[in-house]
Structure 1
Amino acid sequence: MARRNQHTKDEIQQLSLQAVEALLYEHNHEAISTRMVAKAIGYTVGTLYTVFKHQADMLLHVNARTMDRMFLHCQRGISDSNTAEHNLTLMALSYHQFALQEPNHWNLVFSLRLPENEPLPQWQQANIDRIFHLLEYELARLSPETSPQSIQKNARILWSGVHGMTTLSLNNKLFIEGITDVETLLTNLVHQLVLTWSGA
């Protein structure tokens, strides 16, 4: 075991998060214990609880890092010189691609449950809002006269469709015979919603 004074608390936190991220490439989050993480970084389980309130807190910090990567991934290729539909399609495809590349990390974002009556921290809500703002910006470009409230609603409708299709495809539950190209389905989904919202 490493000596407790070998690293600062911030360093122990970062080592722990990196260890969880590495373990997620081999295991789903339900198989990862604090004991596994402590062993991976050379500290005791008790040391982990000096930098995290509980295991869910540790995993929530992992989710924040995952969402940072997801945000950057979904930004790739986005430009105001593109049409709003093109950018929305790129984001949908990037979201699906990210889930394929990091399925356990991606799944943890949506599977983690905090202890009862413990609110989501503002910093994590900000991470969620930042991703939705990408969609909302493009939807506002698509239909400038639409109210902010409707833009927010439409962003969540779009995300729900993309997320649902991504989830089903990762679990082989789309049940559409002869169609294996999920990217085509996602592109069609965005196109149909854009037609509806643009009034075309």
Structure 2
Amino acid sequence: MSKALERREKLRADLILSAERMIAGRGLAGLKTRDLAREIGCANGAVYNLVADVDELILRVGSRTLLRLDEALGAAERAGEPSPQETLVRIAIAYCDFAAENLQLWRALFEHRMEADKVLPDWSINDQLQLFRHIYQPLAMLFPKRSREELGITARSLFSAVHGMVALGLEQKLVAVPLPALRREIAGLVRAMVHGLIARDTDAESPGTR
């Protein structure tokens, strides 16, 4: 690699790290390319020689956040008893803890909106979809007769329920919930949802059930 390419790659890495720190400290609305350029020592316009636009920069930061979330969920999977139900509980609590510890970066994953005519790049979509395997795998063990499509819908539904509790619980407003209580409520929600899904499948398989 030439010296010029090495310098560009270093500047690009520095830009993404600086953007990550800025979002973590100020939130997504506080991301300013002029401040980033000053921090990494380049002209403001040179930022767009390193990334296509601000959308790409935010998505690159998001990929780093998703990678760390992936690692946190993987650690939670391996941290306790192997029963699929309790694995789902640990994953949900790990998601809550990660959001609380990385609040602005986590919020940025959901606050960022691209223009209607812009397509989300494949690498960003893949980064997001990879996370669902943590939910999908325990569900596949609990419901071996379900199709991949059915399991995918259940995984997204379970995530939506947990995400909603986390998003509301961590709001620094009237609906805020102390973290220990939020963790308990999330564990209860996941167990209740899994019990309900198991009961529904059992009823559907019972003779004479309509």
Do the structures match in fold with TM over 0.5? yes
Shift in alpha-carbon separation, 1:112–1:139, aligned structure 2, 3 A: same
**Match of 1:83, as an amino acid?**
S
1:170, distance to aligned residue in structure 2 (A): 1.1
| Alignment pair present for 1:132 and 2:164 | no
Partner of 2:104: 104
Partner of 1:167: 167
User: What is the TM-score with the length of structure 1 in the denominator?
Assistant: 0.90
Distance 1:38 1:176 in 2: 36
1:8, distance to aligned residue in structure 2 (A): 2.4
| Alignment pair present for 1:65 and 2:64 | yes
Partner of 1:25: 24
8 Å contact kept, 2:169–2:175: no
Partner of 2:206: none
Between the two proteins, what is the percent identity of the paired residues? 23
Report Cα offsets for 1:75-120 as digits up to 9, x if no partner.
1131496111111111101111111111110011111112331111
Matched residue SS, 1:78: helix
**Match of 1:105, as an amino acid?**
L
- Between stretches 168-177 and 17-26, larger displacement belongs to 168-177
**Match of 2:85, as an amino acid?**
E
Matched residue SS, 1:115: coil
**Match of 1:56, as an amino acid?**
D
Q: How many residues align?
A: 197
Distance 2:11 2:121 in 1: 21
1:104-123 matches, cutoff 5 A: 104-123=104-123
Unpaired runs of at least 5, structure 1: none
| Alignment pair present for 1:42 and 2:41 | yes
Matched residue SS, 1:120: coil
Unpaired runs of at least 5, structure 2: 203-210
8 Å contact kept, 1:88–1:135: yes
Report Cα offsets for 1:105-146 as digits up to 9, x if no partner.
001111111233111111111111110111111100111111
1:7, distance to aligned residue in structure 2 (A): 5.3
Aligned Cα RMSD in Å?
2.4
Shift in alpha-carbon separation, 1:177–1:12, aligned structure 2, 3 A: closer
**Runs of 4+ in structure 1 over 6 Å off:** 176-180
Partner of 2:185: 185
Matched residue SS, 1:116: coil
1:5, distance to aligned residue in structure 2 (A): 5.0
**Match of 1:143, as an amino acid?**
F
1:148-159 matches, cutoff 5 A: 148-159=148-159
User: What is the TM-score with the length of structure 2 in the denominator?
Assistant: 0.86
Matched residue SS, 1:60: helix
